[in-house]
Chains A and B, each alone.
Chain A
């Protein structure tokens, strides 16, 4: 076991199994980064759900062999910095405008899988009309919304998806409908629009939900490849920093406070 880089590493207790060496007579079943994510550190907070969600998107693209035929359009939020770690073509849109940039890209390059990645603040507060009109037009793109219920990058303030009781920087006692209004369920809104081919909501708060979300990503891109219209996948992500909860409590907080309003599941599918 190589311990030279570790600070304060003392005697290795006998029960610790060496975990730096490549084991002999074993098969690698999960690599540390997905094929399309550059190995290397990123600057998102400890316990952030966004890298897990983007990994699911990248895994779906590799599985369908779309990596060399895709363009990602990022909105503005914490995930934007992470786009530097991705080995796919990336465009950067103004706040809220990613579905419109993606519309232009998809119309001029119809053979490509064009998709957007936006936060809830970006998609639902700053530019809700963009995704709604793209859906109604039946644009053949895939839109992802990473929903943590806060404007994470700018300090953790409430967004239109913040659920009742959820703590944010300006709802420290939890969102109260009488004072702060009601949350909007974005996936349900999209599912009501003719012109969408697929709508689902996933989450990354445990391994089971990560696996489920990966299947949703694959279905969304499959619908896009079949020309069924706009696909929308909302992914609930942890923001322990914005929620003021310890990283270890954030997955349960997501389940109890956020997923109780924003329910995980497939809402609409035109896939055969």
Chain B
């Protein structure tokens, strides 16, 4: 399985309040809330799965400004065996 990746995000998980607005906003469905981990304030937070397009929708809707969105200069690929290439 090779997933094409055009972008990526940095998530300030400590600033997150767990509202999940980013989950709905992410059309490729590559954000997923943690199920067992929380930040130090006790909120679950999103983690990134392979397939981000760098569309910025998560950053546009997050009330707590947790996202920095990047676009790769050249699209990358991800596979379970090799990770991000």
Contact = CB atoms under 8 A, between A and B. Distances in A.
Contacts of B40: 5, 7
Interface residues of B, number: 54
Interface residues of A, number: 48
Interface in B23-39: 23-25, 36-39
A8 B69 contact: no
A51 B64 CA distance: 7
B15 A41 contact: yes
A32 B14 contact: no
Interface string B1-32: 00001011111111101111101110000000
Contacts of B72: 23, 25-26
Given A17-B8, A207-B60, A211-B60, A32 B68 contact: yes
Contact of A7 (B39, B64, B65, B69): B39
Nearest to A33: B65
Contacts of A9: 37
- Closest 9 CB pairs between A and B? A47-B19, A46-B17, A207-B57, A26-B70, A30-B59, A247-B19, A30-B69, A46-B19, A30-B56
Interface of A: 5-10, 14-23, 25-33, 37, 39, 41-42, 44-52, 55, 204, 206-207, 210-211, 240, 247-248, 251
